[in-house]
């Protein structure tokens, strides 16, 4: 079963953590209501940060490049490594794993 992207993280996160995030979000609403300029600043901070997806993609690309380099320079058996990484990325995209 494929869950919508908007539900993927909450569905795979401990309920206590989800509840703590909800409480913090509700507590932040009055602050941002009284300080509208802080909203833009916070959005800029979030834009500069790396989310899980970006980290996963960077790690997968790094491992794939290492596998391709080792396959070309050391032994063709290393070409299996990028194939495995691609399989995991496909699984992540299809199953929201």
* Residue found by looking up tokens 């690309």 in the block: 61
pLDDT for res 62 = 96
State yes or no: pLDDT of 1 exceeds 60. no
Confidence band, pLDDT 50/70/90 cuts, at residue 54 = confident
Residues 79 and 63 in one domain: yes
pLDDT for res 6 = 67
- Answer with the residue of higher pLDDT: 13 or 83: 83
Q: Of 32-36, 43-47, 65-69, which has the strongest mean pLDDT? A: 65-69
Contact call for residues 91 and 97 (beta carbons, < 8 A): yes
Rg (CA), the chain: 20
Positive or negative: CA dihedral 70, 74, 79, 81? negative
How many domains does the chain fold into? 2
Rounded CA separation 82/59 (Å): 12
72: domain range? Answer: 52-95
pTM attached to this predicted model: 0.60
Give the percent of the chain with pLDDT over 70. Answer: 92
pLDDT for res 66 = 97
Domain boundary among 16, 31, 48: 48
Contact call for residues 18 and 10 (beta carbons, < 8 A): yes
Residues 65 and 33 in one domain: no
Rounded CA separation 75/44 (Å): 45
């Amino acid at each position: 079963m494929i869950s919508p992207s908007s539900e993927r993280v909450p569905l795979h996160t401990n309920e206590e953590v989800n509840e703590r995030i909800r409480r913090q979000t509700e507590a932040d609403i009055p602050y941002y209501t009284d300080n509208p300029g802080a909203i833009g600043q916070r959005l800029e901070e979030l834009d500069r940060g790396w989310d899980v997806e970006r980290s996963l993609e960077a790690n997968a690309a790094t491992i794939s490049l290492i596998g391709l380099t080792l396959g070309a320079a050391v032994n063709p058996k290393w070409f299996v490594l990028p194939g495995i990484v691609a399989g995991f990325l496909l699984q992540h995209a299809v199953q929201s794993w």
